Every structure is written in C-alpha cells, then in structure tokens.
Amino acid sequence: MFETRVAALEGGAAALATATGQAAITYSILNIAEAGDEIISASSLYGGTYNLFATTLPKLGIKVKFVDAENPENFKAVITDKTKAIYAETIGNPKGDILDIEAVSKSAHDHQIPLIVDNTFPSPYLLQPIKHGADIVVHSVTKFIGGHGTSIGGVIVDSGKFDWTVTDKFPGLVEPDPS
C-alpha cells in the first residue's frame, strides 16, 4: 500500500520500497549501469550520496562525472555514449540550489538516457518531478514522508514514461536474463 500511495503522489506508474534512501539511490543506479558505464551527477549532493558516487560506484567500475547543476548545459556537455543516467537532487544539498528539471530532462532525453532525481526535500506534496520530465524519483522516506524519525526507509518511483527499448543501452531491462 505504501508503494502504491507514493507512486500516486508522485504521478508515477509504480514504486518500490527499500530499507533506506541510500538503498533506493543505489538500486536506481545499479539496475541500469554496470562496470564500464558512466553516470552524470549534480555536485551538490547529500554527503552519503556523494560518497556513494565518488567512492563506492567507481569501485564497481561505474564512473561518475560531477557537474554544477546551476547551469543545465553542464550536464549535456559531458554526456558520452557510455552515459546511462543523469542524477540530481531537486533541491541540492547543501547549497539549496533548485534543479531545472525540464532543461536537464531534455538533455537526458535527447541522448536516450533517463533523469533520476532525489525528491526527498520537497516531497511530492510540494513538487512532482515526473510532471517536469524526471523518469525516476527516489526518496529517503525517513525525513518528510515518514515524518516521525522512528524508522528509516527509501522508495524508488518509476514514471513509466521512459522508453527503455529505444536504444540498446539497457539490455538488463529489455532482454531476457539467462539466470
């Protein structure tokens, strides 16, 4: 029921609850990127996310390029054929910068890659990034969605709008798995 409600609040097709917000972010990346791939991320990030992207993902062979999100053109400038996603927070932590979701999603979609946004701070009560072009939304529900501070959790919301079949970049999502 929780997943259904959060998906509805965000205007998404479906959601998946996770143990933590960090798990939601990790799953959202690991489901579409693997060793040799790249993601592009805003540099203004919650510390745990920055550590995941700067230290942990490179250990798994996933390169992360950090850009200043205040200029949406910065994302487009570093996209390569190995780029599998663009990631940013709707309100960057700690700077409080506001992501131009529409401009960044246009750059992502022009290159057939999804835009993943962390919408923890505004929550779907104040902002629904899918309406502005985001493909995947993640939350740490520990903060504002739960609102009680007695338990931790995360959630991933899929917009249902990104066409994973339009390119051959995402075989793990569109081809049979031999296992």
**Structure letter (DSSP) for residue 99:** P
Among 122, 161, 149, 151, smallest CA distance to 138 is for 122
pLDDT at 151: 81
Q: Which CATH class, in words, describes the domain spanning 2-167? A: alpha beta
Query: What value does the mean pLDDT take over residues 10-34?
Result: 96
Mean pLDDT for the stretch of residues 132-152: 87
Per residue in 24-64, pLDDT tens? 999 999 999 999 999 999 999 999 999 999 999 999 999 99
Which one is predicted more confidently, 95 or 137? 137
Cα 131 to Cα 139: distance, rounded to the nearest angstrom: 16
Question: What CA–CA distance (Å, rounded) separates 75 from 105?
Answer: 10
Q: What is the average pLDDT score of the chain?
A: 95
